[in-house]
Amino acid sequence: METDLKLESSLWVGNKRYRGVLTGWHFYWTEVDKNRDKKTISVPVAEVVGVEEGCVEILPRKSVEDTDKDFTVFYVKRSSSGGSSGFLWRLGRTQFSCPSRVLRDQWTKHLRTALKTHSPLRPKRLLVFINPFGGKRKGRKIYHSVVAPLFELAGISSHVIVTERANQARDHLLKKDLTDFDGVVCVGGDGMFSEILHGLIGRTQQEAGLCENDPAVILQPCPLHIGIIPAGSTDCVCYATVGVVDPVTSALHIIVGDSQPLDVCSVHHASALVRYSVSLLGYGFYGDVLAESEKHRWMGPLRYEYSGTLVYLSNRSYAGIVQYLPADPLLSSPRDKIRCLSGCSVCSRSTERLFSHSSDSASLYSSHCSQFSSDSEGEWVSVEGRFRCVSLTCMSCSCPRSPLGLSPSAHLADGTGDLILVWDTNPLDFLTYLHRQTSTQDQFDLPFVEVHRVKAVRFCLPSGKEGESYEEIGGGNCEISDEERGSVETENSASSQQNLAETGTGQEMADEQKTVPPFMCCLCCSKTPAVSVWNCDGEILPFTEILCRIHGQLVHLYARGIEDEATIQNCREESNNCERRCILHNKTGLNFGL
Ligand SMILES: Nc1ncnc2c1ncn2[C@@H]1O[C@H](COP(=O)(O)OP(=O)(O)OP(=O)(O)O)[C@@H](O)[C@H]1O
């Protein structure tokens, strides 16, 4: 089939003549002028955005001049992103002229067929949610002026919903008909992404008849891909999975149908699902900073710096018992200095392992819930003491401020998380730890820091402290009401998404937290709080004692991980190898299992 697609002819770009070749996997054109160095431009077919007859411009506005021997090819062009880790993707455009109309039609037909053959995951129909209030409130403008024209060029139709309230996207995904959609696009920040994540995971489990409340359940991976168009004040998930925060780059990843699996951590309390997390679950310092920052929302993004300083100066540590189930140390380690980049081999090897479920793996979590017994998946390890912070990350959590992230060698899709324990230490040591997160120095090479690659974690308070919670911290009215506790503890059989609605997520949760009085009374406050709160991807959890389980590759994003020069080169070689194998297969009639 691929050999049938081969097409070769003279093509003109402006007044220069080129030899154009389509091999099925690549489209390239080489200047035919013997007096010069022959220059070849090669575009993988998988990165062709669209092919149009005539001379076509799409930005700032679509215009078509229908010259019957011309065609225009749009494709992905990379440019350096300056400070960020990945590449910016831009729309490349080249207009070709053919010797005849017949040849022009052959080129457009062959290119379109090649696109279908080599990019099977390209979406045709998308459900788009825009949070008009996210970030600088530019979600609508970003979508309509930048993203929609690209979708139109790529022949993608979209159903757009501009949200009118928090949790509207989640509720829509839980209840409405989603047939005909290939994916869901989130135009907003991490909070909006979280809504979509909860909606899609919940919907998938509902349809599979699985109970999300049960930490023992092996959840069903979501069939719909998620695309993130960054338009929030925090866009960490986008940064960690694409390498840049840029709407055009993200739109192009959606169009070419990239697929990046992502691990998800389910957080449970008293046998009920509390939330899902994909980035940081942090107790102690990171929980306190979030709780403090909620009081200073008026400061905008500066509130995190202000609150961080305040919390650091308050010099807190918290008692706790952390139990964790280590991942197989032979597969990878959080200190092996292997970064999870596009085409990550650790994640690829995990795919097979993760989806060959053994029926008894579920029993692990059931037994853990009751009495932490060991079984075939390994032994639980327990540590107790005072911690500056306890963090569980399912990804590196890299961001512009911390380019390597909280756990530089964490993987997006290997079915594990990294548990970072920072034991109580003096303020200077803790500052060293925090500072190392912004540099390339090893933040785990400190005597008071431990890191473990894990499959599950449980956190509880030492005996005597279990009863203490928010209300003991600042006094007054900061408690989670009995009704809210009850709703989680007693409604185990009900849908957990219902519980989420009752305990409050997103804006509801944020509103709830606004009524929370000072987490820190003041710096001179003599009463040190006994417990902190959990920061779960930027939301405060209403419970301290939790059980977390990592679900490998539960969702897929329209992304491909962070690209660097080496990963792009590897990708090209892999595509060339595929092409060679296919040609050989077609010539010999042999099936190499492709
Ligand atoms: N129409 C709406 N009105 C109010 N809140 C909304 C609306 N649509 C979505 N939300 C909620 O707004 C919250 C924040 O959204 P988003 O992540 O897009 O923006 P952000 O500026 O990055 O947020 P943050 O305030 O957390 O920094 C989400 O939790 C989402 O549930």
Contact 265/275 with Cβ under 8 angstroms?
no
Q: Residue 551, exposed/middle/buried by CB under 10 A (0-12, 13-18, 19+)? A: buried
φ/ψ region of 177 (left if φ > 0, alpha if ψ in -120 to 50, else beta) reads beta
Whole-angstrom Cα distance, residue 88 to residue 249?
6
With a 6 A CB cut-off, is 505 part of the ligand 1 pocket?
Answer: no
With a 6 A CB cut-off, is 504 part of the ligand 1 pocket?
Answer: no
Three-state DSSP at 22 gives strand
pLDDT averaged over the chain? 84
Ligand 1 centroid, distance to 430 Cα (angstroms)? 32
**Residues 262-321 pLDDT 10s:** 999 999 999 899 999 999 999 999 999 999 999 998 887 788 889 999 999 999 999 999
**Residues 525-551 pLDDT 10s:** 546 688 999 999 999 999 999 999 999
- Point out the ligand 1 atom lying closest to the alpha carbon of residue 538: 26
pLDDT at 377: 65
Ligand 1 centroid, distance to 575 Cα (angstroms)? 40
Nearest to 416 by CA among 468, 354, 477, 373: 354
Tokens representing 215 are: 């930490």
pLDDT at 180: 92
φ/ψ region of 400 (left if φ > 0, alpha if ψ in -120 to 50, else beta) reads alpha
User: Which residue has 């970064």 as its token pair?
Assistant: 339
Under-70 pLDDT residues of the chain = 1-5, 34-36, 60-61, 82-84, 356-377, 465-528, 567-594
Q: What angle do CA 48, 49, 53 make, to 5 degrees?
A: 95
Q: Residue 297, exposed/middle/buried by CB under 10 A (0-12, 13-18, 19+)? A: exposed
Catalytic residue among 70, 190, 414, 537: 190
pLDDT at 500: 53
With a 6 A CB cut-off, is 138 part of the ligand 1 pocket?
Answer: no
**Residues 27-60 pLDDT 10s:** 999 988 766 677 889 999 999 999 999 988 887 6
pLDDT at 136: 87
pLDDT at 529: 81
Domains of the chain: 7-120 (2.30.29.30), 122-258 (3.40.50.10330), 264-355+377-485+499-552 (2.60.200.40)
pLDDT at 497: 53
CA 594 remoteness from chain centre: 29
Contact 446/429 with Cβ under 8 angstroms?
yes
Ligand 1 centroid, distance to 504 Cα (angstroms)? 14
Mutation probe of ligand 1 site: the residue of 507, 511, 539 with most atoms within 8 A of C-beta: 507
Is the pTM of the predicted complex or chain greater than 0.80?
A: yes
CA 289 remoteness from chain centre: 23
CA 66 remoteness from chain centre: 41
DSSP 260-275: EEEEEEEEEETTEEEE
With a 6 A CB cut-off, is 134 part of the ligand 1 pocket?
Answer: yes
Strand partners, 453: 418
Contact 227/188 with Cβ under 8 angstroms?
no
Number of helices and strands in the chain (H, E): 17, 23
Report strand pairing: 70-80 vs 87-97: antiparallel
With a 6 A CB cut-off, is 199 part of the ligand 1 pocket?
Answer: no
Q: Residues of 374-401 as b/e, b for ≥16 C-beta within 10 angstroms?
A: ebebeebeebeeebbbbbbbbbbbbbee
Whole-angstrom Cα distance, residue 187 to residue 138?
10
Ligand 1 centroid, distance to 162 Cα (angstroms)? 12
With a 6 A CB cut-off, is 139 part of the ligand 1 pocket?
Answer: no
Interhelix angle 285-293/302-314, rounded to 10 degrees, is 130
Whole-angstrom Cα distance, residue 435 to residue 554?
33
3-state secondary structure string across 188-237: ECHHHHHHHHHHHHHHHHHHHCCCCCCCCCCCCCCCCEEEEEECCCCCHH
Give yes or no: 190 in active site: yes
Ligand 1 centroid, distance to 161 Cα (angstroms)? 14
Whole-angstrom Cα distance, residue 386 to residue 569?
47
With a 6 A CB cut-off, is 293 part of the ligand 1 pocket?
Answer: no
